[in-house]
Amino acid sequence: MYDTFQQYLDSKITLTSDEKELIRSVSILKKLRKKQYLLQEGDVWKYHAFITKGCMRTYAVDDKGIEHIIYFGVENWWIGDRESLLNQTPSRLNIDAIEDVEVVLFTAPNFDMLCAKIPDFRDMIQAIISKSFNVNQTRILASISKSAEEKYLDFIQKYADFAMRIPQAMIASYLGIKPETLSRIRNGIAKK
C-alpha cells in the first residue's frame, strides 16, 4: 500500500533516503470496505489522505435526504475536508468508499512538519492545492453555464479512466441533475 504512495512521490519530486524514511515514519495506512466512512458529517477532519487503491466520494446530505456529491477521488488523488481541517470545525461533509479502498493518512501536525522540513514536498502540495482550486473554479462555472448534456459529456471526457467505476446515480448527483435526466441523456447519446 505504501509503495504506491512512494511511487507517486518519486514521480513528482526527488527525495533523499532520510526524507523518504521521515515521510514513511509518520504515515498511517488504512483500509476501508465499500460503503465504509473515512469521515462523517459532524466529525472534525484531522488528516491529509492519499488514495492508493479504490474510489471514494465526498458529499453532503441536504434536509430532504438528497446527496450532493462534490468530489470523487481515485488512485493517486488526495481527499479530505480542507475547511474542517483548517478551521477545526465539525465537517459538513461525508467521505466514503465507493469501492474497497486503501489510503495513506497523515495527521495535520505531521503533515505540517513534513512541509516545513522537506521544501520539495511543500512545493508539491502547494501545486496540488493550486490545481485543485482551478479545477473547482472550472467546475463551478460549468455547473452554472452548461446544459446537463454538456456537463455529462465533459465528465466522461475528463474522467474516462474511472467514470465507468461510478454508479450512474452518483454521477448524476455530482453533475447536479436527476438520475432520470442522466438516463435520458445517455439514451440520446447512444442513439446518435
Task: Give backbone dihedrals phi and psi of 71, rounded to 5 degrees, phi first.
Answer: -160, 140
- Grid look-up 465537517 returns 91
- Provide the residue ranges of all domains of the chain, joining segments of one domain with +: 3-118
CATH of 3-118, one of 3.50.50.60, 3.30.470.20, 1.10.287.3510, 2.60.120.10: 2.60.120.10
Instruction: Per residue of the chain (192 residues), give pLDDT as tens.
Output: 899 999 999 999 999 999 999 999 999 999 999 999 999 999 999 999 999 999 999 999 999 999 999 999 999 999 999 999 999 999 999 999 999 999 999 999 999 999 999 999 999 999 999 999 999 999 999 889 999 999 999 999 999 888 899 999 999 999 999 999 999 999 888 887
> Which cell is 34 given?
465499500
Give the pLDDT of residue 190.
82
Global confidence as pTM: 0.92
pLDDT of 176 = 93
Work out the mean pLDDT of the chain and round it to a whole number. 95
Grid cell at residue 133: 482550486
Instruction: Answer yes or no: are the C-beta atoms of 187 and 83 closer than 8 Å.
Output: no
Could you read off the pLDDT of 90-121 as tens digits, one per residue?
A: 999 999 999 999 999 999 999 999 999 999 99
pLDDT of residue 99: 97
Count of CB atoms within 10 A of residue 53's CB? 16
